[in-house]
Structure 1
Amino acid sequence: MALDTGPSLEDFKARLPLADIVGRYVRLVRRGREFVGLCPFHKEKSPSFNVVEEKGFYHCFGCGAHGTAIDFVMAAERLEFPEAIERLAELTGLEAPRRRSSPTPPPAPGLHEANEAAAAWFAATLAGEGGREARAYLGSRGLDAETARRFGLGCAPAGRTALKAALLARGFSEQILVEVGLLVRPEDGGDSFDRFRHRLMFPIHDARGRIVGFGGRALGDARAKYLNSPETPLFHKGRLLYNLAQAARPAREAGNLLVAEGYMDVIALVRSGLAHAVAPLGTAITEEQFEILWRLADEPVLCLDGDAAGLRAAHRAAERALPLLRAGRSLRFALLPPGEDPDSLMRGGGAAALAEAVGRPLPLVEFLWRREYAQAQPLDTPERRAALQGRLRELAMQVADREVRGHYLAAFRERTVALWPRREKGDRRGTPPPMAGVLAARPPDPVFTAERRLLEPLLREPALLHEIEEDLAAIECREPRLEKLRQEILAAWSEQPGLDARGLHDHLSRYGFAELAERVLAGGPVALDDGNEQGGAAAHDVWRRMAVPVLRRSAQRRELEALAAGDGQGRDRVGATLGGLDRLLNARDEDTGMGLPHTGRATG
């Protein structure tokens, strides 16, 4: 790149103390002329990471990582090349090489200083007599003076020119204050005035920790509840994230990054011990912000409010991210309880409740599937099912990366196929339509009746999943509605191990399974005592014996599909499964009571 009269890039690289730089991230031990340590780029127990100071490179004999000091900082901190140069200059005190020309002019002298002075003045105002109302508001949100100092919070008083007068007295020019967005100059040529008035102030930093703008929350009635700095040479709303500079190192250490909706949510997450939290500046996440997030974590977790607006924001973020996905780069979603946001959850349930709420996020593919499935109800006609498949395909086709797009198409296909009614060879019964009135007028469906007996005990006593979770995961219910219910029971348990019947019911209701669960329960309790005390190992053993015929039916269906597709290897694998189940069934002295006929193997 073209450089000015400062040091050349090669001179800069030659002067970088490689071992000292790497030693900030890796514990190094000298061995002769080299240094060794545990590689920071892959997990290992024996050191295979070498730093060769004389030749200016590092090399890992375990994973093959190799490069210079610049390469190391780019990889360790997930920075782009120019940012890595600036970071190395900060770490070493060396003068960084500069470009001769840049597409955007450098910020005018005094802009950063003006923001720093404004932040100090806002903070002093908050601590003084003029900050009484702002302090009362912070107190109502559970924030103390130490938290205000930690985040640099301040107060802009109601006066029209209070900040202007204070900074002009400090020697800042009016032009600088207008250019940095602290003052507004009317179009009619009148006197300039403070942009932020009667607001709680949040300084906004760039990735290097410099104050580049502000966000202000109204303390009284105002047209805009939140007001940000305008676009300036320093402040570009779509390229910044609140708390980024403070969250970067904790995010790298945690291998994760939480993305909340607003300033107060970030503060709540940090106070609960989740320091790797950031937020966009009051708008939908932009492509540039996604790129910043992915430099710090492969799968950032969007932790948004549990209301309709929060879900809409999550949906917008999911769809905007789809074209940007690549192998190993995605999103996850932590859906908070309805009516809760990180701040309210922290104040109501404490740090433990907030950590639990964000601790089991949904992958992007599952989040999109649940949204489309919930919106598609009821799925009682071929046309509605086809519409669901079409919408899912449209979503998958938005993924630009061909390989990732293929996996999305396959994942959506697997989920939808499990919903549709199926018929095995010679089976003319099909699946009854899911309308309660019609079902009531027909004889009970033996498949539904049989498989209902597997799920009913879990709805009444989810604690049984402590014993049978793996068994339940191995089963594929033949009745498509019950198969979906089985999957959702497992999803609920994985998100919240140990939940009780009420908690499971609330989860199932949230995702549209309340009516089906009630129908399963309406058949009456299924006894699991088998002559012993109900629960524990006895219930586990009886439940498994009930499950054998269901497993066998599922295996038979897979064998028929493999046979129809001419998949000899697949048929052999399923045949082995059926053989094992046959032996297990033959070992029983009595019928399992499932009401399913013991049919023969499929033949080609």
Structure 2
Amino acid sequence: MAKYEDEQNIREIESRIDIVELVSETVNLSRKGNNYWGLCPFHQEKTPSFSVNQDKQMYYCFGCHVGGNIFSFLMKKDGLEFKEALEILAAKAGIEIARPQDRKIIDQRKQIIAVNNAATQYYQEMLISPQGKTARDYLEKRGMIAETISNFKLGYAPDEWNSIEEYLLKKGFTAEIVKLSGLIKRSDNQNRFYDLFRNRIIFPIFQYRQDVVGFGGRSLGEALPKYLNTAETELFSKRKNLYGLSQARESIREANTAYLVEGYMDCIKLQQSGIKNVVASLGTALTEDQAHILRRYTEKVIVLYDGDEAGQRETIRAINVLLGANLKAEVVSLPAGKDPDEYLDNYGKEGFLQFIQNNKYSDIEFKLNRHLLATPTLDLDSKINIINRLKDEIMGLASAMEKDFYIKLLAQKLKVEENIVYQELQPRHNHQHISHNRNNIEILRDNNKYGKYGIQEKILAAMLKDDEVFTTIKNRIGIKFFVNPDYQALVEIYDQLLGEQAEKARDIRYMASSEGLDAAYARVAMLMDEANLDEAREVEEFIRRVEQKKAEALWQRVFEQLDILGDTGDFDSVLSFILKLDKFTNATREGGIQ
């Protein structure tokens, strides 16, 4: 989000827009105590767990753990970038935020949108004209109904060299802005421009606000490529857009799942059938930008690429991109030579959904199956190779049950004992890579003691609420002890602010926003009012528990180090280490763990 130093506009906007009023446009809120409560707009629930605090101008959902301020609420609700949310809220507040040097770009983007909207209307008119008969016949043959054609604003670009250019110029657009839209292209000899799309079915590509940002076109003749996208413009990049998202985003959010397909037709046909939570990656390999867009709406993506070899290779790439964006990735393997559109035509919606249910694999299962198909003979080396290829992903799983599932699956598929698979998955010991980090000690996990809050939240709330508590804890045990990485980041930001300028510490939420920590801070901020710490007693208890954990961790390292030194046979080093250990033991008895 915004940089801390650039917060003036943010402060001004927040002073004019009340979060309760903003959220109430979407959520029916009821006041209970200091907070307003309602059903969360970001996940399905029957009992309200979505809380809005008017004094702090923050929201937090205790069900899905999403939280933040007016900017993050709009970003999450509409799938926006911060800059987009800032522009919308600034307009709502009646504040001019554009710098003079940005105004030209903003105006240019608005003009390109106007050009695209006009072009969309033209292409729609051409589709229903006599010239569009071939295109209409094609769409009918592909099973498109009139309502779908209208919803997606499909159109037709006639087989003419300058039809869209002439239409737009007659509409009053300048030649320069028509060029910038990417709808016309300069000829090789540079003497003239011609229409990019000719004799093609047109697929407008929408942004979140139903603005047309670009186009795709499918050739109806022999012209190549079969599919063509608008050139990269100030407004459009195919790497940063997903086809069908404007129609699918609410369904994706409700299902907390998105289906990812390759083509326009696959996306449209699935949505037409009633499977609404579908998007397409604009005919390119899935990009990191596209994955991060999906992450705004869902936690899980099911990849539904074509069943041919090329489609399966792209599936592997897509899985890795999705995992890199912290999305759960699953795969449906279609029969070879089939795409989702064809399968839907053959078996209908119910048959298609049943096929998905019976042929859905996790990312690891899919990769394992691919490795097995590529390995005709499962000799010893092949088995070891397959385990090694999947080792990092399996051992990186947080759930012990998931690890156990894949160990059993590997044992079954490779026809080896489970304990052998388990041993092969273990990291090889390397005495040169022992961690000596003595700072990050996990505090005890005790999330039931304080109801819906855990000890981490209670202590962090106390530290951010009271500088004296913060200083006491820092001086006694330091600040590197939080299990939750977001909480650890918050306390380090606060420490930095205190060191720079004490009065800035109260504005930690601006820094939290800039680091993407809105939800973590919102949760802790909600607790500051609820927290009824007997601070002197509970802070002291917390310090004691952290010291105890430090001691346990240190002794664990002691025994590990003794094992290593014993393995080397270097008994002089063992003796030296024991002498140091004796000094350490005396120090802990006298003054505690530092």
Report the TM-score, using the length of structure 1 for normalisation.
0.61
More relative contact order, 1 or 2 (CA 8 Å, 6+ apart): 2
Aligned AA (2:54): E
Single out whichever of 201-210 and 19-28 deviates more from structure 2.
19-28
What secondary structure sits across from 1:172 in the alignment?
A: coil
Find the counterpart in structure 1 of residue 148 from structure 2.
147
CA 1:353 to 1:249, structure 2 compared with 1: closer, same or farther past 3 Å? same
CA distance in 2, matches of 1:423, 1:10: 62
> Separation in 2 of the partners of 1:2 and 1:183?
38
Q: Which residue of 2 aligns with 1:179?
A: 180
**Cα 1:54/1:16, change in 2 over 3 Å:** same
Q: Partner residue of 1:366?
A: 365
Match for residue 418 of structure 1 among 412, 427, 448: 412
Report the secondary structure of 2:304's partner residue: strand
Q: CA deviation at 1:390?
A: 3.6
Matched to 1:336, the amino acid is L
Query: The residue matched to 2:267 in structure 1 has which SS?
Result: helix
Contiguous gaps of at least 5 residues in structure 2: 419-594
Identity score, percent: 34
Quote the Cα distance in structure 1 between the aligned partners of 2:83 and 2:254: 23
State the partner residue of 1:289: 290
Give the match's secondary structure for 1:159. coil
Residue identity matched to 2:288: E
Question: Which sits farther off after the overlay, 213-222 or 367-376?
Answer: 367-376
2:199 matched residue in structure 1: 198
- Correspondences of 1:203-222 after superposition (within 5 Å): 203-222=204-223
| Higher deviation after alignment, 197-206 or 305-314 | 305-314
Whether the 8 Å contact between 1:204 and 1:215 is mirrored in structure 2 is yes
**Kept after mapping to 2: 8 A contact 1:7/1:95:** no
Is the Cα–Cα contact under 8 Å of residues 185 and 191 in structure 1 kept in the other structure?
Answer: yes
> Which whole-Å CA distance do the structure 2 matches of 1:319 and 1:60 have between them?
30
Partner of 1:188: 189
Deviation sequence 1:562-595 (CA, Å, 0-9, x none):
xxxxxxxxxxxxxxxxxxxxxxxxxxxxxxxxxx
Aligned partner of 1:302 in structure 2 is: 303
Take 1:171 and 1:39, find their aligned partners in 2: how far apart are those partners? Answer: 46
1:384 aligns with 2:378: no
Contact 1:107 1:233 in 2 (8 A): no
What does the per-residue CA deviation read over 1:41-78, in whole Å, with 9 as the maximum and x for residues that have no partner? Answer: 67765445443435533355677765432233344455
Bigger proportion of residues as helix: 2
Aligned partners of 1:36 and 1:50 also within 8 Å: yes
The aligned length equals 415
1:341 to 335, 339, 342: 339
Q: Distance in 1 between matches of 2:53 and 2:122?
A: 49
Assess, with a 3 A threshold, how the Cα gap between structure 1 residues 5 and 260 changes in structure 2: closer, same or farther. closer
Describe the shift of the 1:5–1:416 C-alpha distance in structure 2 as closer, same or farther (beyond 3 A).
Answer: closer
The whole-number CA distance in structure 2 between the counterparts of 1:249 and 1:82 is 21
Partner letter of residue 368 of structure 2? W
Distance 2:19 2:401 in 1: 41
Does the aligned pair in 2 maintain the 1:307–1:339 contact within 8 Å? yes
- d(CA) in 2 for partners of 1:332 and 1:278? 15
> Secondary structure at the residue paired with 2:215?
strand
Over aligned residues, Cα RMSD in angstroms? 3.6
Say if 2:291 and 2:325, in contact at 8 Å, map to a contact too. Answer: no
| Counterpart-to-counterpart distance in 1, 2:184 and 2:5 | 34
**What's the CA shift string for 1:136-164, capped at 9, x where partnerless?**
10111111222211101010011111112
Cα distance change of structure 1 residues 197 and 6 upon mapping to structure 2, 3 Å threshold: farther
Could you tell which deviates more after superposition, 132-141 or 362-371?
362-371
Is the deviation greater in 218-227 or in 138-147?
138-147
What is the rounded CA distance, in whole Å, between the counterparts of 1:158 and 1:228 in structure 2? 17
Q: 1:325 to 1:54 in 2, by over 3 A?
A: closer
1:176-210 CA-partner distances (Å, limit 9, x unpaired): 22221111112422121111101000011223321
Q: Tell me the SS of whatever aligns to 1:215.
A: strand
Alignment of 1:38-437 (within 5 A): 38-40=39-41, 46-59=47-60, 66-77=67-78, 79-86=80-87, 88=89, 92=92, 95=95, 97-98=97-98, 105-106=105-106, 108=108, 110-322=111-323, 324=324, 326=326, 329-359=327-357, 361-379=360-378, 381-393=379-391, 396=392, 413-419=407-413
Aligned pairs for 1:528-547 (under 5 A) are: none
Distance 1:405 1:213, change over 3 A: farther
Matched residue SS, 1:8:
helix
Per-residue deviation, residues 522-547 of structure 1 (Å, max 9, x unmatched): xxxxxxxxxxxxxxxxxxxxxxxxxx
Q: State the SS of the aligned residue for 1:296.
A: coil
Query: Structure 1, residues 302-351: CA drift from partner, whole Å, max 9, x if none?
Result: 112223332222123224445x154xx22111222343322222222222
Amino acid corresponding to residue 366 of structure 1 in structure 2: E
Q: How many Å apart are 1:388 and its aligned residue?
A: 2.6
* 1:6 and 1:97 in contact (8 A); partners too: no
Higher mean displacement: 165-174 or 111-120 = 165-174
Query: Quick one: structure 1 residues 348 and 41, their matched pair in 2 at CA, closer, same or farther if it must change by over 3 Å?
Result: closer
Partner of 1:376, secondary structure, is coil
Letter in 1 for 2:362: P
CA distance in 1, matches of 2:62, 2:137: 58
C-alpha displacement of 1:391: 3.4
Equivalent position amino acid for 1:147 in 2 = T
SS in 1 for 2:295: helix
**Residues 381-413 of structure 1: per-residue CA shift (max 9 Å, x gap):** 2223233334334xx37x9x9666999987765
Q: Is the 8 A contact 1:243 1:279 kept in 2?
A: yes
Q: Which moved more, 1:59-68 or 1:351-360?
A: 59-68
Listed one character per residue, the Cα deviations across residues 506-560 of structure 1 (whole Å, up to 9, x for unaligned) are xxxxxxxxxxxxxxxxxxxxxxxxxxxxxxxxxxxxxxxxxxxxxxxxxxxxxxx
Residue pair 1:262, 1:282 contacting (<8 A) in 2 also = yes
Residue 176 to residue 48, structure 1, CA distance change in 2 (3 Å): closer
Q: TM-score, normalising length from structure 2?
A: 0.62
- Displacement, 1:269? 1.0
Is this contact kept in 1: 2:244–2:279, CA < 8 A? yes
Shift of 1:247: 1.4
Cα pair 1:392 1:412 within 8 Å, conserved = no
Distance in 2, Cα, partners of 1:286 & 1:385: 32
Kept in 1: contact 2:43–2:254 (CA 8 A): no
Cα distance in 1, alignment partners of residues 228 and 60 from structure 2: 49
2:123 and 2:45 mapped to 1: Cα distance? 49
> Distance between the aligned counterparts of 2:6 and 2:410, measured in 1?
63
